[in-house]
Structure 1
């Protein structure tokens, strides 16, 4: 079978399996997946509730020199499936978790509210960890977003109506008509529940005081849908399948109007046929969904982040699917003067939800950090050591395993340093890449772009097998530690025997024993090589983050055999090449199962043999943001 046709079958099969009716065993597995993706913080250990306490005093309270989390002082009582009617008449359902007295009844008084908007069916994900806050004097409200779970309507993933729902739900939760709300609001959650925080906050809901987005996207097209211009076949079908499957679980029964339950289920089916299927089909066929444009900009938090002015704590992962966008959100808010912090850990998407391994970071746990953030900004508890204890940027350094801090992201603490490929980075073998649609499979990329769901033993921590399928360039052993943090630019001169193609770049650490640790990666299709300088990021005059339009209008033709300069945006990281180790750049023409060509790209000949050039006439370079 032709390799190009074989590569097309991967997303096609994913598309088909996404919309197969779930079996009972599938639903059990799906429930576990939904719970994993929605569970952002561990619930506190169940303890006998103590006597209720009064609502927090208005004036700040003194804090001990060393910050410690407040103990649980309440139990939890849950009111299930509370109807919230939107302005267009569609009914969303919410679970209200309230502080409870020792007898299990709701505690008197009004409390700050923490809101999570969930697309993965709140009945599958339970309390999503929100009870940790409830036991410490907050009300936790969790909704099923429109067209998912038990909420009516049709899902369209962050569309206009869903964004308006976010504002209306937030204002409902802080209304004086809610006897349990004191009007103060915080937004919290991971992944989808992190992304929709930005759209809600940008509309300035009443009483909003703080956000805690865990692994949010910034620019959905470049971050995850089509990194470099090819379709993300590793995550997008999985994600659509998760939301669709969770939405087809029978919703909560409306006892007053049982016919409404069937209507809701039919609306969810209609949503899948009207949104998910056409979107995937359009992307696979290389139609409108394969290009950036208004649809993706509408759904990208970076499009609205300048509207946000409330304190925001952003959590990101070095191996997360939103590795690129989360730091960019922090960077924009910090430059806008917003009180914001960034935590970047050694996590995939699902690992970042619980953020294990924080020892040495100055942050005890993600749950405690969220409590500290909300206590400061919602309850008004004085915390004079917060900024001393937690730097603006805290990241886990790949290569040393240590936690590092910075004052900003891509600021004065780093400078651009250029490494010539062919000179500083010497070739390891030849410069010609034979296209093989298994390149990328035996690497950390597989675990990263399946959100941690798939990791091939031996491949996640050693990239040697995968590197043998491409071409590599590496430095001599480092004479001293080389630390860098931020986005990278692999500015390559390439040619191909086809009329399109993908350049997949891995930046790696080669240990003295020959093992290869893949630090980060970047991807770029040849026809989308155009760069918009005004939106690219530079350091001391050098581009470290090229910005490609990825629009139909910006496409450029490719002539077989002609050499083109192709800047490849390599996703941001924080790492060190230790003394005696080598910095390596490896180039492939596939990154499976992460990215696969659409039908249009296949017809154009993405299976051409690619050559990397590094001559005086056609140089290739790697530009690093090196720590000073």
Structure 2
């Protein structure tokens, strides 16, 4: 059954969110501690994880946990994580960043391709482990951009008991049509990214960079993952296994979706709002494939403010008021959203209004060119006469 959707147009994003930064946010980077742990899977493989704590936190306290689960070598990305996670730490959460199997400092054979059953099975075990730690309240949320947004949606399809909510940024539930490999059914340049990712994952973990027979076997005795996608050029079971499209009823975890007008995954948002019966909210703005607080084009917004409200609602049981707000917040680039009920009129120059002006010369077509986005062209942005 499809749901009605209440939409709010954001002419001025700041006015809609009415966010005032905390006085402490200017120096939050000095308030983080990192603990390295291993999470043992049922087959004995250990996944490497970083736990981000507010500095000085009492380890005997219990916290709701936010998980980001990626193959992108956590130790190499601590500068990014340090800045990204600080906001959540200030609002009463611990953030845990886990290297997937066979990537970074995690043991095991490198995952064969995106969103495999191996990745998602491990993810369920990670969530269960996090919920049972003495420093955990038992409530876990997931968040992430791109890959981390994708597997947040996919874990929500599995509905592990401890997963209470997720925030997916620049992600889609329709793998074949919209994932980076076959956007609109044609293989795109994104698979050059997949090949570089294979090379990246072949590196041994920091800081020891241990290279032994086990590492060589697990990280090099594999075919390039791009071959998998070259063999899967048509929609079907391979793509459906981790796509919510056509099986939206599996998602019973509340989800907040953030998209960008210039991102390739933007069409997912209205589908999720319309088809998922669990609580859903969405926000779209004038951004490419970035977190909105650090995005291009502008204006940027502090999306984590809304994410915290969403997590507070479901992980802490607080009434944040977010459920009473419009389902879909849309940044409108022009003065008014398109409305077929509005009559188009023009000023004639003599004080009268007319539905159609006479004597207007035909427009001249001018070819232009512009820079590239992450995967798509920028449309009207930064175009120049060719």
| Greater RCO (CA < 8 Å, at least 6 residues apart) | 2
Equivalents in 2 of 1:69, 1:210: separation in Å?
A: 24
Q: 2:214 aligns with which of 249, 263, 268?
A: 263
Q: Which 10-residue stretch deviates more, 144-153 or 161-170? A: 144-153
Does structure 2 retain, via aligned residues, the 8 Å contact 1:69–1:368? Answer: no
Q: How is 1:278-289 mapped onto 2 (pairs within 5 angstroms)?
A: 278-279=227-228, 283=230, 288-289=231-232
User: CA separation in 1, counterparts of 2:150 and 2:59?
Assistant: 32
Separation (CA, whole Å) in 1 of partners of 2:318 and 2:368: 49
| Closer, same or farther: CA 210–459 of 1 in aligned 2, 3 Å | closer
- Residue equivalent to 2:262: 319
With 206-215 and 127-136 compared, the bigger mean Cα shift is at 127-136
Q: Any conservation in 2 of the 1:121–1:149 contact (CA below 8 Å)?
A: yes
- Residue 383 of structure 2 is matched in structure 1 by 462
Match of 1:396 in 2: 331
TM-score (norm 2): 0.76
Decide whether aligned partners of structure 1 residues 139 and 278 sit closer, same or farther in structure 2, where only a CA change above 3 A counts: same
2:285 to 345, 348, 360: 345
Q: After superposition, give the CA deviation of every residue in 1:496-529 in whole Å (9 maximum; x if it has no partner).
A: xxxxxxxxxxxxxxxxxxxxxxxxxxxxxxxxxx
1:98-137 equivalences under 5 Å are 98-101=53-56, 106-126=58-78, 127=81, 129-137=84-92
Preserved CA contact (<8 Å) 2:202 2:219: yes
Q: Say whether the 8 Å CA contact 1:148–1:243 is kept in structure 2.
A: no
Instruction: Tell me if the contact between 2:244 and 2:250 (Cα under 8 Å) persists in the aligned partners.
Output: no
Correspondence list, 1:168-317, <5 A: 168-175=125-132, 178-224=133-179, 225-233=181-189, 235-238=190-193, 240-252=194-206, 263-264=214-215, 266-270=217-221, 273-279=222-228, 283=230, 288-302=231-245, 305-317=248-260
Compute the displacement of 1:317 (Å).
0.8
Residues 219, 463 of structure 1: alpha-carbon distance in 2 compared, 3 angstrom cutoff: farther
Unpaired runs of 5+ residues, structure 2, are 1-17, 342-361
Structure 1 unaligned residues grouped into runs of 5+: 1-65, 406-412, 416-426, 431-439, 466-628
Q: Using the alignment, how far apart are the partners of 1:70 and 1:376 within structure 2?
A: 20
Over 3 Å counting, the alpha-carbon distance change for 1:246 and 1:326 in structure 2 is farther
Please, what is the CA RMSD of the aligned residues? Answer: 3.5
Distance in 2, Cα, partners of 1:327 & 1:442: 30
Tell me the SS of whatever aligns to 1:449: coil
Change (3 A) 1:237 1:160: same
* Alpha carbons 1:99, 1:106 under 8 Å: kept: no
Could you tell me how far apart the structure 2 residues matched to 1:205 and 1:216 are? Answer: 20
Aligned to 1:145: 100
Question: What's the CA shift for 1:88?
Answer: 2.4
Task: Report the count of equivalent residues.
Answer: 337
CA contact (8 A) 1:447 1:460 kept: no
